[in-house]
Amino acid sequence: MPNDPTTTQRPFVQLFTDGACRGNPGPGGWAYILRHPVSGKEKEDSGGKEDTTNNQMELQAVISGLQALKSQSQVEVITDSTYVAKGSSEWMPGWKRNGWRRREGKKWKPVKNEQLWRQLDELLGQHDVTFTVVKGHSGHPENERCDELAVEASLQFEM
């Protein structure tokens, strides 16, 4: 059917992300570059928090990038965070099944950064998302740019 929304091709975008933290916890920053390869359009954004962790900033970068999308899209998230990539694609289904808890030894513990993971889960449900992990600080141009923006954002909280 020509107007069947399930067969309509979603636009493809690349989302490059990075988080930074000066101390862990400490002042932190996040950044993303959103690229539409077909049109060549790009959008950059960054922000930060006075007291945070590196993992929280890595999550916030992806969340903020996905929130910036105006329509349902096919998204390739390019990140240097194995934590975010594996958490999103491997660990999250189990956390959800177990009431957002994880096993630590013989005990159940709440998932760390649960609110951010829940926010990301909701956004992942709106888009068709895949993750590509790149090595950080290895000369990847977009990862380096995101790192630069995230570090810059974290500096606004220093005295």
Query: Would residue 140 show up in a list of annotated catalytic residues for this protein?
Result: no
Q: Quote the CA–CA distance of 117 and 95 in Å, as a whole number.
A: 10
What CATH number is given for 12-155 in this structure? 3.30.420.10
Choice among 47, 65, 80, 142 that is catalytic: 80
DSSP state of 90: I
Active site residue 19: yes
Sorted by where each begins, the domain ranges of the chain are: 12-155
Task: Decide if 137 is catalytic.
Answer: yes
pTM of the model: 0.93
What single DSSP character describes residue 24? S
pLDDT per position as a tens digit, 88-146: 999 999 999 999 999 999 999 999 999 999 999 999 999 999 999 999 989 999 999 99
**Among the options 19, 29, 47, 48, which is catalytic?**
19
128 is catalytic: no
Helices 141-155 and 54-67: angle between axes, nearest 10 degrees? 110
pLDDT in tens, 8-53: 689 999 999 999 999 999 999 999 999 999 999 999 999 999 999 9
- Strand partners for 55: none
**Alpha helical stretches, state H, 9-140:** 54-67, 82-86, 92-97, 114-124
